[in-house]
Amino acid sequence: MTGFQELEGQLFAAIERKAPRRASRVSGLLLAASSVVVLAVAAFAVVALGRHGPPSPPGQPAAAGASQRRRARAYLDATIETMLKRDPACRLGAPPNPAGATLSDGSPSATMLSVLGVLRRPATAADGLPGSLTRARRFILTRGATSVYVRYIRRARVVDGVSYYVIPAAGVRRPAFPGRCFGEEMQTLRREVSRAPAQMRLITLNLGARRFSVEQALGARERGHEGVFELEWQSTGGGGGGGGISPSMLARHGMLGSDGDVLHGIEPSGVARVTLEWPAQGRRVTTAVVNNVFVVRVPGAGGGNFPPVMVWRAANGRVIRVVTTP
């Protein structure tokens, strides 16, 4: 999985609506780097957190159109890559729970159960985690949570030999990053946009600064929360995953990830079909949501074409929500 951009994207959109007026960035909402060894921190891994927010860029935030937001995001992505090459220690912080999450026999909250209907169906033998992923009553991949509700893990789909598991967890936290990373990120962003047109520079600096500060604020008050993870496991062994977003965030934004041309995600109950749209290309694909999970192969959908706009539809075709990311 290349990452849960849904986390960063959702966060990104939320930042533009209600971010603090000081500067900063994060991802309990959408782009997260995830891999087999960092499943639990996927939703939070790409961003570097610092102790203090930087001063806001001068001037008022300029109104940005869709094309300008895309350019601003490109600057931010380039900033992250440049900064991480210079300081690899900022790539991933230490996971909150290095040994992995304990396997709890407890139950998720009523809120989580209401958002994810797949968790309410009776468990079957097929829902058990692959044996290689558990050790001493721990799920060794989920290192960003204190425990997972083992009786509520569900294998929601099997598509092309890949099993998609929905994993409810408790005590989800983002990893710790060296305090210097935040400052480095903002300094790098200023260099990246130094030759951009004045308006584009102002839009990017304000967006990046607000994004960084939101991350920092979230990290400062992090106490651990319930979260939902997804695991993709191949029949031949091996896989990856990510997530960790709260049930309330899932209900508003869902989760979206990609493995090359395969797009997949977890959606709240009530969403029967998802239409993925690429407006600039005039392209759209509609697929069914089964057990709260959708999986669809869309050639060329990864890379620079990710993430698409998501349109949630009820069983009768009614549009429930349009989820966009900058």
In a domain, 240, yes or no: no
In a domain, 277, yes or no: no
User: Which pLDDT score, from 0 to 100, does residue 31 have?
Assistant: 27
Distance separating alpha carbons of residues 97 and 99, to the nearest angstrom: 6
In a domain, 269, yes or no: no
In a domain, 50, yes or no: yes
Distance separating alpha carbons of residues 240 and 243, to the nearest angstrom: 11
303 phi, psi to nearest 5 deg:
60, -130
Burial of 298 (0-12, 13-18, 19+ CB in 10 A): buried
Contacts of 324 (CB under 8 A, 6+ apart): 9, 13, 309, 310
Low-confidence ranges of the chain (pLDDT < 50): 1-62
Count how many domains the chain has.
Answer: 1
Q: Indicate the SS3 state at residue 320.
A: strand
What are the start-end ranges of the H helices in the chain?
5-18, 66-86, 110-115, 180-192, 198-220, 247-253
Span 257-313, pLDDT tens digits: 888 889 999 999 999 999 999 888 888 999 999 999 999 999 877 666 678 899 999
Q: Which domain holds residue 74?
A: 5-93+175-220
User: Which pLDDT score, from 0 to 100, does residue 175 have?
Assistant: 67
Distance separating alpha carbons of residues 273 and 161, to the nearest angstrom: 22
User: Which pLDDT score, from 0 to 100, does residue 103 have?
Assistant: 93
Share of the chain above pLDDT 90, in %: 34
In a domain, 208, yes or no: yes
Distance separating alpha carbons of residues 17 and 325, to the nearest angstrom: 12
User: Which pLDDT score, from 0 to 100, does residue 221 have?
Assistant: 56
In a domain, 214, yes or no: yes
User: Which pLDDT score, from 0 to 100, does residue 10 have?
Assistant: 39
In a domain, 237, yes or no: no
In a domain, 159, yes or no: no
- One-letter amino acid at 216 equals Q
DSSP collapsed to 3 states, 67-103: HHHHHHHHHHHHHHHHHHHHCHHHCCCECCCCCCEEE
